[in-house]
């Protein structure tokens, strides 16, 4: 585009003065025209014009028409600026300042006919130049896109051709690529937080632009701070919005070609992103087949499977940790900001996995994952075994943050297996993660992260859960106490559990239960009477304590 400031510099005579309305010098000028000497004088205006007012023109139209009134009427038509030959009244200056329409005072000897032609010629030539420049850059970028160049090359090339910082963001606002070609450019470290802060407002505009053509997207100007702004265009794919492309420009100082270059760049990036999404979808299908074979044990050939995984970038012979994440079915609604029809509540898992990123487990690490019903199963490579807890906590926190409302962490449970290598090791870690998830929800309820290596004796209990001997051991040890508590409203089982937790100290157990020490001693005597067991015997104490663990882990729901 060409602005009022451009026209003043390139087409208007020396001595032209901005009398008022300087805030509008960045307005786009679409044409230059003189006001018609006969009514309707304003009928031919459609907005964006530089209107030239000859001397005595207002008096010829209406002797009562003042420059102030003319400025206000012209502002209502959306003109870019008003150029006047003659004196400018204070009232006219006030009207121009209020409307933000530049009021230009031309020299008294200005010839408006040649000025009109020169300004119109300038606007036409600039439009052609901007169009030619946009086509040239667009052709260059499209050649790179067709040649299969990555997004980083597209962004760098556009930045160098435009002489601007260029930012490419995903549809969720994540910065996918950035390049700053100039020393005086703001740079990524300054711009990235500004882009993130402005994303919610930008997202609303992007939704309105979602119906635009991928080959000819619209552009918009958005302020980043008091010094910098962005010219942004949506990147559209066959199935909707893929992201956005921005040129970072000085606020109020963008060039005429910035908009077309942004649009051409977005169109070329749409080709690359659409191709990458298609490739990612195909890759995802193959990865799912690999993971199904690894975790479900239906192996075609171990050697073939390892080779296929390696071609996808997964070395299954190095240590991996398995994680199983469960979303409590009582959780209302889908993951925030995503279509509930896409894998239901887990529609945001892919983006969460991307945010967790290779930085959590090594620069080149890639995770395998799948969704089953209301659970997600993840196999994550860990270069060092001690990284596993950090990876698990980060995934838990990212998923919890993505849930609607503020209580995501209270409904998200995660079980973590031991880091193990090889197909058999990964399968074992997966089983451990499922055990950790199940026992964690039984012992602590939903909303917690449970590691298999923290389960202690519960690992043995879980392994023996299906054995009839476990039920017999439980019933023979504390079945009578459970029945007594149920019939008499007593609290013997809880007291016995507190007694063991207090290292067999009646005083400490009383403090834990908020009762008198004599109450604990009385209840322990009732335990001895009902069970016939001697609590002073270390073997008896071990038996009862193990039975309490079994009760808590397996049979609590029956109490």
The predicted structure's pLDDT at residue 406: 41
Stretch(es) of the chain classified as CATH 3.30.450.40: 148-275
DSSP string, 464-493: TTT-HHHHHHHHHHHHHHHHHHHHHT--HH
For every one of its 559 residues, what pLDDT tens digit does the chain have, with 9 covering 90 and above? 678 888 888 888 888 999 999 988 878 888 888 877 766 767 778 888 898 887 777 767 777 778 888 899 889 989 999 998 888 899 999 999 999 999 999 998 888 888 888 888 888 888 788 788 888 998 999 999 999 899 999 999 999 998 899 999 988 888 999 999 877 678 888 899 999 999 988 988 988 887 788 888 999 889 998 889 999 999 998 888 899 999 999 887 777 788 889 999 999 999 999 888 888 888 888 888 899 998 987 666 888 888 988 888 889 998 999 999 887 755 444 444 443 433 445 655 666 665 555 444 444 457 888 888 778 899 988 876 667 787 788 777 777 776 554 444 457 889 999 999 999 999 999 999 998 998 888 888 888 889 998 888 887 887 787 788 888 888 888 889 999 988 988 889 999 989 988 988 999 999 999 999 999 999 999 999 998 888 888 898 888 988 888 888 777 655 4
- Cα 103 from Cα 117, distance rounded (Å): 20
The predicted structure's pLDDT at residue 341: 39
Task: Kindly list the distances between the CA atom of residue 219 and the CA atoms of 23, 208, 235, 370, in Å, as whole numbers in the listed order.
Answer: 22, 12, 11, 38
**Is 299-455 in CATH node 1.10.287.3510?**
no
Both tokens of 206, joined, read 């992007």
- Cα 519 from Cα 203, distance rounded (Å): 64
Both tokens of 124, joined, read 């036409």
The predicted structure's pLDDT at residue 96: 93
The predicted structure's pLDDT at residue 337: 40
With contact defined as beta carbons under 8 Å apart, do 322 and 432 qualify? yes
Stretch(es) of the chain classified as CATH 3.30.70.270: 299-455
The predicted structure's pLDDT at residue 21: 93
Architecture (CATH level 2) of domain 4-124 = 3-Layer(aba) Sandwich (3.40)
Q: How many CA atoms lie within 13 A of 453 on its CB side?
A: 12
Cis peptide before 40 (omega within 30 of 0): yes
Stretch(es) of the chain classified as CATH 3.40.1390.20: 4-124
Q: Which CATH superfamily is domain 462-558 in?
A: PucR C-terminal helix-turn-helix domain (1.10.10.2840)
Which among 167, 160, 162 is positioned nearest to 130, based on CA atoms?
Answer: 162
- DSSP tag of 555: I
Rg of the chain, C-alpha, whole Å: 37
- 3-state class of 514 per DSSP? coil
Task: Kindly list the distances between the CA atom of residue 469 and the CA atoms of 170, 482, 486, 548, in Å, as whole numbers in the listed order.
Answer: 57, 18, 24, 15
Both tokens of 229, joined, read 């702004």
DSSP string, 152-197: HHHHHHHHHHHTSEEEEEETTS-EEEEE--STTS--HHHHHHHHHH
**Is 148-275 in CATH node 2.40.100.10?**
no
With contact defined as beta carbons under 8 Å apart, do 24 and 81 qualify? yes
Stretch(es) of the chain classified as CATH 1.10.10.2840: 462-558
The predicted structure's pLDDT at residue 298: 67
pTM (two decimals): 0.57
- DSSP tag of 35: P
DSSP string, 373-422: TTEEEEEEE-SSGGGHHHHHHHHHHHHHHHSSSS-GGGTEEEEE---B-H
- 3-state class of 497 per DSSP? helix
């Amino acid at each position: 585009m060409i602005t009022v400031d451009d026209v003043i510099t390139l087409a208007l005579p020396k001595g032209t003065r901005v009398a008022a309305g300087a805030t509008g010098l960045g307005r786009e000028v679409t044409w230059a025209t003189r006001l018609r000497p006969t009514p309707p004088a304003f009928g031919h205006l459609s907005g964006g014009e530089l209107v030239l007012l000859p001397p005595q023109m207002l008096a010829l139209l209406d002797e009562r028409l003042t420059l102030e009134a003319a400025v206000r009427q012209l502002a209502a038509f959306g003109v870019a600026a008003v150029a006047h030959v003659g004196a400018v009244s204070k009232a006219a200056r006030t009207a121009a300042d209020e409307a933000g329409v530049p009021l230009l005072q031309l020299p008294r000897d200005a010839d408006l006919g040649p000025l009109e032609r020169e300004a119109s010629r300038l606007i036409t030539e600039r439009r052609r130049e901007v169009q030619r420049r946009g086509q040239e850059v667009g052709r260059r970028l499209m050649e790179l896109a067709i040649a299969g160049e990555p997004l980083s090359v597209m962004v760098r090339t556009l930045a160098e051709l435009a002489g601007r910082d260029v930012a490419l963001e995903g549809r969720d606002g994540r910065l996918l690529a950035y390049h700053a070609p100039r020393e005086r450019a703001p740079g990524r470290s300054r711009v990235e937080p500004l882009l993130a802060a402005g994303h919610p407002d930008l997202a609303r505009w992007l939704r309105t632009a979602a119906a635009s053509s991928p080959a000819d997207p619209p552009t918009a100007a958005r302020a980043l701070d008091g010094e910098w702004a962005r010219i942004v265009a949506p990147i559209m794919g066959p199935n909707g919005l893929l992201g956005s492309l921005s040129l970072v420009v000085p606020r109020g100082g963008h060039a005429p070609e910035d908009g077309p270059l942004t649009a051409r760049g977005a169109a070329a990036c749409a080709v690359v992103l659409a191709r990458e999404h298609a490739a990612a979808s195909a890759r995802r299908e193959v990865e799912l087949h690999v993971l199904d074979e690894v975790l479900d044990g239906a192996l075609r050939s171990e050697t073939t499977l390892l080779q296929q995984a390696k071609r996808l970038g997964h070395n299954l012979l190095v240590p991996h940790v398995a994680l199983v994440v469960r979303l409590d079915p009582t959780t209302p609604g889908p993951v925030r900001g995503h279509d509930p029809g896409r894998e239901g509540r887990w529609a945001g898992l892919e983006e969460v996995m991307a945010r967790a990123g290779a930085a959590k487990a090594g620069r080149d690490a890639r995770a395998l994952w799948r969704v089953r019903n209301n659970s997600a199963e993840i196999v994550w490579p860990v270069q060092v075994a001690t990284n596993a807890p950090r990876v698990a906590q980060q995934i838990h926190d990212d998923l919890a943050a993505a849930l609607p409302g503020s209580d995501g962490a209270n409904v998200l449970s995660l079980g973590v297996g031991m880091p193990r290598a090889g197909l058999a090791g990964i399968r074992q870690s997966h089983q451990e993660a499922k055990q950790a998830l199940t026992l964690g929800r039984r012992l602590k309820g939903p909303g917690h992260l449970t590691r298999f290596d923290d389960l202690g004796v519960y690992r043995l209990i879980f392994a023996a859960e299906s054995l009839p001997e476990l039920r017999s051991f439980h019933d023979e040890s504390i079945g009578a106490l459970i029945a007594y508590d149920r019939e008499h409203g007593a609290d013997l089982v809880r007291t016995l559990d507190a007694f063991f937790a207090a290292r067999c100290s009646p005083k400490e157990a009383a403090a834990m239960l908020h009762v008198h020490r004599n109450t604990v001693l009385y209840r322990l005597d009732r335990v001895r009477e009902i069970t016939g067991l001697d609590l002073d015997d270390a073997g008896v104490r071990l038996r009862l304590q193990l039975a309490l663990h079994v009760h808590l882990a397996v049979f609590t729901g029956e109490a």
